[in-house]
Chains A and B, each alone.
Chain A
Amino acid sequence: MPLLEVHDMTHFFGGLRAVHDYNLSIEPGQIRGLIGPNGAGKTTIFNLITGIYHPTEGEILLNGEEITRLEPNQIADRGLGRTFQNLRLWRYLSVLDHVKMARYSKLTYGLTGAFFGTSKRVREEKATDKLAMDLLELVGIPHLADQIVTNLPYGAQRRVELARALATEPKVLFLDEPTAGMNPEELIQMMAIIRQVHSEIGMAIYLIEHRMKVVMDLCEIIQTLNFGEVIAEGTPEEIRNDPGVIEAYLGKEVVI
């Protein structure tokens, strides 16, 4: 059974049809890509699945359970984690606090623990610290744990966002342009990190990318979106040779 399924999802912003009859099925552990020209509706699809918007029509199932109308925090609880195209970090919090925040909904200490520091709270906070540090290790920035995120270079901020998303223990991880704005060196590092995260944790990954090299190298299956509709779906090889995709990106071939 697929882990995540989307059936006939359509979304309107006022009179504008942003997404039309979108279908998706992700198997556990799969890496999938979503490509398409600017404004094709890629980020909108991410926002719809993670609950930031609710679709006008269609249904979304995670492990067979319908999550279409749930609030974003309930969807996150059930195992969808994500990062953003233009980073959304909490400017004045430290790197470690970012990752710990993603664990807080899983801590069970109560108000007495909060005011009197019970042993349960100390234990839970310690375990959270350890887990957060392990994740920072995994994305390669344990030495930055105490830094305030605003002070970090762009590539490091992207890693913070990735570690924070991983800390929610997602079954499917949504990465919205994980290499946007990176230089070639940072790009190669980020691809290596994504591979390593995938091989160590083994969750499914769904990523939006503009750089063909990244998508072609990482993904098993790629969907191409244009004007809110899927125009092609297949392996990297199939997508590369699909005339519809080439047309969407480069325009129609003109025969003189």
Chain B
Amino acid sequence: MEFFFQQLINALQLGSFYALIAIGYSMVYGVLLLFNFAHGDVFMVGAYIGFFVSSALLGLNIFGALALPLSVTLSLVLVLTLIISMALNSIVGMLVERIGYRPLRDAPRASAAITGLMIGIILETGNLAILGPQRRSFPELIQSATINIAGVSFTNKKILIVFISILLTLALHQFVRHTKWGMAMRAMAYDYVVVPLMGISTNKIALMTFALGSALAAAAGILYGVAYPVLDPNMGILFGWKAFVAAILGGRGSILGAGLAGFLLGFIEIFVATIFPSTMRNLIAFGIILIILTFRPHGFFGEPFSAQLRL
């Protein structure tokens, strides 16, 4: 039983990363009918931004001067790192939109997909060229501790990662459901042409969509760094593809759907690995997803979009 609960929290942790990244894929698809294939690498960039921001913050003398207990200092650094990196990475996302995708607004969707793949390669190789091939180790922002709940012990890191990612998912869901910008995003998903006639700039809404998705990807990157403190330029590739699959599974355009599917993917992977040899993990996990999609091609929460609605 204890083993089961520990695997459960492992699955939730892995699912957290998939969920946060999948939401970025899903939002962009929902609003612009575009798969942003650079998103996995935006996650990687977010993790690196988090690495530099946290290292810089830890190097500041101000924390030494304040003479706070170490755990308080580290928590403060974690929160600041999250906020600053999310803001910086949203700028990265907006640049991707502005430079990569906006010129292709009226082009066939395949052109945009190819551009996305190229932007991804540029981000990976750019990182390699500028920072070199060595891996970076993410600073330890949470002091490991073990929490015991009803006889099952968890590390505090895992709990915090799951908590933060659920919180961000729900916050974004609220934002999209209940604010004027979120409403404009949803309207764009249904009919793009009339939104400007309401006095709303679709370019601004597109930028905002990319900014929000990239901010969440940065959060995923930092939490990833907390969990597995090794960063390398290609870390976004496999994670990005898996999160993309989660976005499809959740239903394109649905935030909660993408979040839930991200966690589901985490569960499938972890529990497949406990039953079968771990070399077969991805094979079996994605086989299961293929079967699910055969029966639910729109995913769990997707509304059947028709592409002809759009420009």
Q: Which residues of A contact B (CB under 8 A)?
A: 50-52, 71-73, 76-77, 81-82, 84, 88-93, 97, 100-102, 104-107, 109, 114-115, 164-165, 168
Contacts and interface: CB of A to CB of B under 8 A. Distances in A.
Contacts of B186: 90, 92-93
Given A101-B183, A104-B184, A168 B190 contact: no
Contacts of A102: 198-199
A104 B198 contact: yes
A97 B174 CA distance: 16
Contacts, number: 75
A88 B194 contact: yes
Contact of A100 (B174, B183, B190): B183
Interface of B: 171, 174-175, 179-181, 183-184, 186-187, 190-191, 193-202, 303
Task: Pick from B175, B197, B201 the residue with the most CB of A within 10 Å.
Answer: B197
A89 B202 CA distance: 16
Task: Pick from B175, B184, B199 the residue with the most CB of A within 10 Å.
Answer: B199
A102 B184 CA distance: 10
Given A90-B194, A91-B191, 5 more contacts: A76-B198, A77-B199, A90-B186, A104-B198, A115-B175
Nearest to A104: B180
Contacts of B179: 114
A77 B303 CA distance: 31
A213 to B, nearest CB: 28
Q: What 9 A-B pairs come out closest when comparing CB atoms?
A: A105-B199, A72-B196, A90-B190, A104-B180, A73-B196, A114-B179, A76-B199, A77-B199, A102-B198
B191 A89 contact: yes
Contacts of A105: 198-200
Given A101-B198, A106-B199, A93 B190 contact: yes
Nearest to B198: A102
A97 B183 contact: yes
A52 B193 CA distance: 8
A114 B193 contact: no
Contacts of A109: 180
Contacts of A91: 190-191, 303
Given A100-B183, A107-B180, A88 B191 contact: yes
Contacts of B193: 52, 88
22 contacts: A50-B197, A71-B201, A72-B197, A73-B197, A77-B199, A81-B197, A84-B194, A88-B193, A90-B190, A91-B190, A91-B303, A92-B186, A93-B190, A101-B183, A101-B184, A101-B198, A102-B199, A105-B198, A106-B199, A109-B180, A114-B180, A114-B181
Contacts of B180: 104, 107, 109, 114
Nearest to B200: A105
B190 A76 contact: no
A130 to B, nearest CB: 16
A52 to B, nearest CB: 7
A168 B197 CA distance: 8
